[in-house]
Structure 1
């Protein structure tokens, strides 16, 4: 029988066994320096259609990425899903062989923070549920949503899932990280149609660490309310408008241009910023943007990244000024700073944001203090959600052209927009912000208030 590092409980990793095997195989192979990132997950998910099961899925995934440094300090890397002792030994051999093709002039190192004490992260491991239990819950949610309004005829896209995840980082210098967490989520995307009108659709999503606390009723109510508000629609004129971005939409836009804060993208020439951009004013003075994976509202936050660096909350834009970037070990070394805990582990280490938080500066005045989502009488466009992000954004150029779901609001009356596209330049947009509201709204992708921007081009589509 072949031993596996996941044999203690189904799908769970054994860091002690993994460490022992890697130490043994590295000694046998005369390798003195190595590190490994391993992960495991168990997922159950269900989808329904008109009260019947549409798709039932269960999966268990294990993976490991191993890096070794040979005597010439060249790095070799392999990935495998075979976490038996035989598979790990084979991965070690493959990494050693590939190391002789490594770049001698640019070699990654261990993160200098890989053994630093981690922040306390309040994670809950939920009790697992059966796929039948998930199916029953989602069937009920689908029916409740359809019953909220006579025009809602179906919920074509929906899903309820429950996941268990864990992550390990170990290196030959004594770093040893291990963390587990669980997460449940529901999404409901419903369709409604009235006589002699086009079908309309809208959706909602909720996430929690366990199924018992997942706010399914809120997801149903949010989806229904939003969809009903889109039934009365009209085309709009092509021109420039005062725009109010919902928290979700503004976070979508900032995330699409997160290469501005990404040191790896800057080094690779794929960002609007460059190595001298720190300290530059990139937006109006009352905008603050931070990445806060450790925020208590962030469900599913790991306390360390792929290189073992502790996860950190980091201010990126303060009073409109770019003050920090997101770093891996390699980019931090190049910039002469410390890694920030945003790295993956792979053949080329990636860097990405975790959970963006947008705030206004209390010390700075808005350009238009009168604007407020609850009381503004001026005509404006309320953008609820941006679509086609991957095809409509040119991050390295700063331009975007995105279809959106939203309303035209006139003297407080909301009318859904039949179809339209918002276009512009991200830096011009950030410098055209006229109001950042005080109320912070938690979404599944971060936190933001409503953000108002003036003079933005909207193209109406008949």
Structure 2
């Protein structure tokens, strides 16, 4: 008998004892080992096991109570059921959450590769070698202040009183590297990279090292830039950062709360260049930490959000789906309130472009590698942004690092100003995306 089946059995027993007829439980356990180093010595070694369980109970008046616990044994579940039932008498009486109508639908079949845990000493050894190689890669690289290798094993489950039963396991390993430079008479510069894989043997440490060195060195000979309007090319990571910052555009809960750039009638509207298509695809093969069901037990899927510039779908929970006469999409998290978030973006070319562009021939184009201060520089309700960035001025393939600058604009205008979506995509932690060319944006230099 599986672990989740055992939990389901004694949960049913305890619920009957408490005369509770309707309930559901979502839980996860994360085991993680992580290491950091500094100047040839281990800086931090952490091993942790964290459990989180959300229990929801409906009373006879259909009001809902929610509680959380870290105990998944019979005694812990009984206490959580009792607490949630008591809380239900103070629950909301409008737009009450319910079970997802897809909580018992078949889950998508995905190939899962599980790795084995590595002793911390081996993780430290690998990271110390990478740090030493970075410090010797170029005379200007003075330190690697931010670095780490970690391994995680995640178990998730969902069950409810109507017989829904879900469980899955995942493992993955990550590495991040971030260097800083010291040169006389010059400001410190930096560069970094991040990689993820199902297991440590599959982790591309060499690629992470090379990207970190290349980015760091490319920023050494920086120059100031004049303020003005420039044609801009967003790196995959930079464009996905903006796409995530303005996710209220297709978040059904934000739309119902009137905290969105969209309204319910926005579906079918042209909001971007026909060159652009975007999906939320938790099942993409590149999504190492992909999940097959959400916090409500709804199967995840490949959901088109923007198709050739047209807003096609919203992200839904069971609550928003009911209110908007739609279907839950597998993007919900349960708690005191059901929330919605994207899983894994897949950005790709929509219509074929009438004209192509490349950085080897482009003149006076800005390549934005990374945008910063998203928490302060984005007004998601107005659609505006003003963000400092790392990047280069490109002239016929020659890259000159920009000393300091910000990019500003309106996100909806940006989407409509896309003039080219490159064909080759890159894998990032938040999605798969190619470089995106935008006709004109305001750049403020020194």
Using structure 1 for the length normalisation, give the TM-score. 0.95
Quote the residue 1:428 is aligned against.
Answer: 413
Deviation at 1:133, TM superposition (A): 1.2
Structure 2 unaligned regions, length at least 5? none
Q: Is the 8 A contact 2:420 2:437 kept in 1?
A: yes
CA distance in 2, matches of 1:307, 1:391: 32
Q: Is the 8 A contact 2:275 2:419 kept in 1?
A: no
Query: Among 211, 214, 218, which residue is 2:207 paired with?
Result: 218
CA distance in 2, matches of 1:407, 1:53: 34
Q: How does 1:308-323 map onto structure 2 within 5 Å?
A: 308-323=297-312
CA distance in 2, matches of 1:226, 1:39: 37
Query: Among 412, 437, 445, which residue is 1:452 paired with?
Result: 437
SS in 2 for 1:91: helix
Q: CA RMSD in A?
A: 1.2
Aligned length: 446
Structure 1 unaligned regions, length at least 5? 1-7
CA distance in 2, matches of 1:380, 1:180: 45
SS in 2 for 1:439: strand
Quote the residue 2:369 is aligned against.
Answer: 384
Find out whether 1:356 has 2:341 as its counterpart. no
CA distance in 2, matches of 1:397, 1:431: 16
CA distance in 2, matches of 1:160, 1:227: 20
CA distance in 1, matches of 2:98, 2:72: 24
CA distance in 2, matches of 1:451, 1:83: 46
Find out whether 1:372 has 2:358 as its counterpart. yes
**Could you list the per-position Cα deviations for residues 47-72 of structure 1 after superposition, in whole angstroms to 9, with x for gaps in the alignment?**
10011011111100111100111100
Find out whether 1:254 has 2:243 as its counterpart. yes
Deviation at 1:412, TM superposition (A): 2.0
Deviation at 1:348, TM superposition (A): 0.6
Find out whether 1:173 has 2:162 as its counterpart. yes
CA distance in 1, matches of 2:62, 2:340: 23
Q: How does 1:46-445 map onto structure 2 within 5 Å?
A: 46-362=35-351, 364-366=352-354, 369-373=355-359, 375-445=360-430
Deviation at 1:106, TM superposition (A): 2.0
Larger displacement relative to structure 2 (146-155 or 229-238): 146-155
Any runs of at least 4 consecutive aligned residues in structure 1 with deviations exceeding 6 A, and if so which? none
CA distance in 2, matches of 1:448, 1:156: 28
